[in-house]
Each structure stands twice: as structure tokens, then as C-alpha cells.
């Protein structure tokens, strides 16, 4: 029997609270679907700092490189805001992304019918929306050299300071994220839209040429289109359902994925995955995490919505374990619970009602799994 390894890093704030609900879901799959998970748990972020004086211990990093998948809750919180930059909770997350070389960040924007009225757009524009943004995560303008602030704004040199960041991509970096996007499209609706600014940026011209090259040579069966990223932003709010997979660079992807996320409602609903190069078993190195943070304002009150973390585990089932049917099952269970009107506080509309607790939401999803 295959055993699927998973490293759980609950982190800080509501991280441990939502992770407890994922544990219930894992337990259900073990008991009822005959799956075997080898789950280990460790510290990250402020929790790791409290014990080790740094936000990610070396042993934890080594473990992350061994397992099939990492599932992370959230890091940070007011207790750690004044720490030195080098040991801030976020550094733990960044170290994981960097050393696992997770270059493709997957951000689905999926509108559950029961929540369509939560969107800032009209129901008929977002109902049924199911798109996937693939953002390049390890290169581009956030990392390019040269960077910095030069020259003094001293008297006599007013207006002389220069802030520099460099948008830089190699063809190899573009090709590997393009391949990831085409592979994903093949498992979905077989369409990729690539976004850049080839009209005003040379790095955008290279992006367009390389994505086209990967398409023509390796994925001619996938439908490819190109769009300028500013038009892409307009199209995302005008008619988001025209897209299937969108692939774009680090900067545009940061902005476009946040905009797309809000088409679908609450932060408590949004999963993500970050994938790297294939490991020996052929599956990509991977870390899964909800998009939300540690939510200190509701920590310890049983108010957190565990769905973002549970849907992140569904992505692990699909992309790390090759269990697409089980991922579908889990997503159907979430959809059923929402359709039944089960709501955590963040999903309460103006009409009100009584919210369920984090734990009750987890229980409802586990109960729905049997029928899903």
C-alpha cells in the first residue's frame, strides 16, 4: 500500500486551530477510503522562534525536503512584530519556498454557488467561476539585480536619489513555469492565457516568446492565448469566466491573484499551492497553505474558518498524491456544507444567522464526506 507523507506546520495564531480540522479530514480518508498518511508535525514562524530562536529549525527544513508535501497554517502575529528582520516569522516561510525552490504558485479562484452573493461582482458574472492563476514565484522584479536606493538627497542634490528594481527573467525560468501551467491546463479545460507587458517591456517579449515556444514544441494540444496584463486585470473583473489557467510573472501574478481572489468572497475560503521541480517519484516538490494569515483578532475564539486550509489539503491530494478523485470528493463535501447554509462568522451575510465554530465546520465537512 502506498503511504503518503505529509509534514504539517500549523504555525501561529489560527494556524493550529484550522489545522486541527484538517487532521479530522485526514482521519476520515484513512478510516473510510483506506488511504495511509504518514503525518509528521513541526514548528514554523513565531512558534519555532519561541523554541529555537529562529523561525524554522534546520531539522524542520531537512524534513520538508524529504516529504511528499508540506501543509502550512499561517505565521506571524503581534508578539513577533518587533523581532529583528532576520528572525521574523515570515522568514521561515520564505526559507521553505526558497530551499524547496517552489517556482510555481497556484492560486485558484473558485466561486461556490452558495457564496456567489458575497462577491463584489454580480452573481451572474461570478457564478460557476473556476480559474487557476499560476504565478512565477522565485524570480522577476522582487529578486532581480541591481536593486537598491542610491545617491543622497542632500542639499545641492535634491531629487537625486534613485530607487532601482530590476525585472529579470531567464528563458529557463519562464519555460519551467510555462510547463507547469500547461500540465495543469491539461488536467482542467486545456486553455492557458499568458499575461505580460510585451508592448513596453523586453522581459515581457521574452516571456511571450518562451511561453509560445513551450506551447509549440511540447503542448500544441493546449489552447494558448496572450494578453497584456493591464487588459487582463480589466477582463478579470469584466468577464472572469473566459479564463481557465492564467500564467504570469511574479509581480503581475501577485496583483492579479489577489484581485481574482476577491471575486470569490472571503479570505477564509482561499487555498494555495506552491510547486517546484519533480522529485524522484515524479511528483513536484510542494507546499500547500491557505492564503490568509494568522488572524490575531480572532485567535483562540473558535471563529476561524477552516475551509481555506481544508481546500489546501484537497490540492495536496490532487497535485502531490495523484488522488484527483479524492480531491474532488473533498471539494464536493465543502460545497454541500455551504449549500446547506453552514457558515462560520466570516461567511455571514447581512441577513445574519448563527455562525458555527471552527470545530463544527470541520465536523460538518467530515459528515458530508460520506455522501460526497
Residue numbers of the site for ligand NAI (CB under 6 A)?
14, 74-77, 93, 267-268, 289, 292-298, 304-305, 308, 346
Nearer to Mg ion, 202 or 258 (CB): 258
According to DSSP, residue 78 is labeled G
Which residue is associated with the grid cell 481574482? 260
Least spacing, CB of residue 11 vs ligand NAI, in Å? 6
297 annotated among ligand-binding-site residues: yes
Does 210 sit near Mg ion (CB under 5 A)?
no
Nearer to Mg ion, 137 or 198 (CB): 137
198 annotated among ligand-binding-site residues: no
302 annotated among ligand-binding-site residues: yes
Say whether 258 is catalytic.
yes
Nearer to ligand NAI, 51 or 238 (CB): 51
> Residue 17's binding partner, choosing from Mg ion, ligand NAI, none, with beta-carbon cut-off 5 to 8 A by kind?
none
Report H helices in the chain: 15-33, 46-52, 58-66, 89-99, 123-126, 171-186, 202-218, 229-238, 250-262, 307-319, 324-339, 358-369
Least spacing, CB of residue 248 vs ligand NAI, in Å? 20
363 annotated among ligand-binding-site residues: no
Say whether 68 is catalytic.
no
Residues 231-290 that bind Mg ion (CB under 5 A): 254, 258
d(CA 113, CA 128): 6
> Residue 77's binding partner, choosing from Mg ion, ligand NAI, none, with beta-carbon cut-off 5 to 8 A by kind?
ligand NAI
d(CA 315, CA 112): 16
88 annotated among ligand-binding-site residues: yes
Q: Do residues 307 and 268 lie in contact, with contact meaning Cβ atoms separated by under 8 Å?
A: yes
The number of angstroms, rounded, from the C-alpha of 338 to the middle of its chain's C-alpha atoms is 21
Nearer to ligand NAI, 13 or 204 (CB): 13
Least spacing, CB of residue 255 vs Mg ion, in Å? 7
Least spacing, CB of residue 291 vs Mg ion, in Å? 9
d(CA 95, CA 138): 12
Please pick, among 254, 288, 319, 346, the residue that the annotation labels catalytic: 254
Task: Please state whether the peptide bond connecting residue 146 to the residue before it is cis, i.e. omega within 30 degrees of 0.
Answer: yes
Determine if residue 34 is left, alpha or beta; phi over 0 gives left, psi from -120 to 50 gives alpha, anything else beta. left
Please pick, among 58, 153, 258, 340, the residue that the annotation labels catalytic: 258
Say whether 216 is catalytic.
no
d(CA 334, CA 355): 16
| Among candidate residues 26, 93, 37, the one with its CA nearest the CA of residue 272 | 93
Say whether 42 is catalytic.
no
Say whether 4 is catalytic.
no
Q: Reduce the DSSP state of residue 65 to 3 states and report it.
A: helix
Which residues contact Mg ion by CB under 5 A? Answer: 254, 258
List, by residue number, the catalytic residues: 142, 197, 230, 254, 258
Show binding-site residues for Mg(2+). 230, 254, 258
Amino acid at each position: 500500500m502506498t503511504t503518503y507523507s505529509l509534514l504539517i506546520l500549523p504555525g501561529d495564531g489560527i494556524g493550529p486551530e484550522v489545522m486541527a480540522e484538517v487532521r479530522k479530514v485526514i482521519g476520515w480518508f484513512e478510516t473510510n477510503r483506506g488511504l495511509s498518511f504518514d503525518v509528521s508535525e513541526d514548528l514554523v514562524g513565531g512558534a519555532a522562534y519561541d523554541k529555537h530562536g529562529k523561525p524554522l529549525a534546520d531539522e524542520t527544513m531537512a524534513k520538508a525536503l524529504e516529504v511528499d508535501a508540506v501543509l502550512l497554517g499561517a505565521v506571524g502575529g503581534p508578539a513577533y512584530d518587533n523581532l529583528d528582520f532576520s528572525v521574523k516569522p515570515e522568514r521561515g516561510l520564505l526559507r521553505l519556498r526558497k530551499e524547496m525552490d517552489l517556482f510555481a504558485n497556484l492560486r485558484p479562484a473558485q466561486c461556490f454557488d452558495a457564496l456567489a452573493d458575497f462577491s463584489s461582482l454580480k452573481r451572474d458574472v461570478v457564478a460557476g467561476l473556476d480559474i487557476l492563476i499560476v504565478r512565477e514565484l522565485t524570480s522577476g522584479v522582487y529578486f532581480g539585480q541591481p536593486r537598491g536606493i542610491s545617491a543622497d538627497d542632500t542639499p545641492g542634490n535634491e531629487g537625486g536619489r534613485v530607487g532601482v528594481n530590476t525585472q529579470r527573467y531567464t528563458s529557463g525560468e519562464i519555460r519551467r513555469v510555462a510547463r507547469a501551467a500547461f500540465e495543469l491546463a491539461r488536467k482542467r479545460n486545456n486553455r492557458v492565457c499568458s499575461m505580460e507587458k510585451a508592448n513596453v517591456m523586453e522581459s515581457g517579449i521574452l516571456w511571450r516568446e518562451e511561453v509560445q515556444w513551450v506551447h509549440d514544441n511540447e503542448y500544441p494540444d493546449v489552447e494558448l492565448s496572450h494578453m497584456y496584463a493591464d487588459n487582463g486585470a480589466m477582463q478579470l473583473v469584466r468577464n472572469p469566466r473566459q479564463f481557465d489557467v492564467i500564467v504570469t510573472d511574479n509581480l503581475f501574478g501577485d496583483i492579479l491573484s489577489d484581485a481574482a481572489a476577491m471575486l470569490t468572497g472571503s479570505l477564509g475560503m482561499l487555498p494555495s499551492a506552491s510547486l517546484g521541480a519533480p522529485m524522484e517519484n515524479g511528483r513536484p516538490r510542494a507546499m500547500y497553505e491557505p492564503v490568509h494569515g494568522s488572524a490575531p483578532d480572532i485567535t483562540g475564539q473558535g471563529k476561524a474558518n477552516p475551509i481555506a486550509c481544508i481546500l489546501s489539503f484537497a490540492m495536496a491530494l490532487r497535485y502531490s498524491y495523484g488522488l484527483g478523485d479524492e480531491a474532488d470528493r473533498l471539494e464536493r463535501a465543502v460545497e454541500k456544507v455551504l449549500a446547506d447554509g453552514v457558515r462560520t462568522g466570516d461567511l455571514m451575510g447581512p441577513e445574519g444567522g448563527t455562525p458555527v465554530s471552527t470545530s463544527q465546520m470541520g465536523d460538518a465537512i467530515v459528515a458530508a464526506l460520506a455522501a460526497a
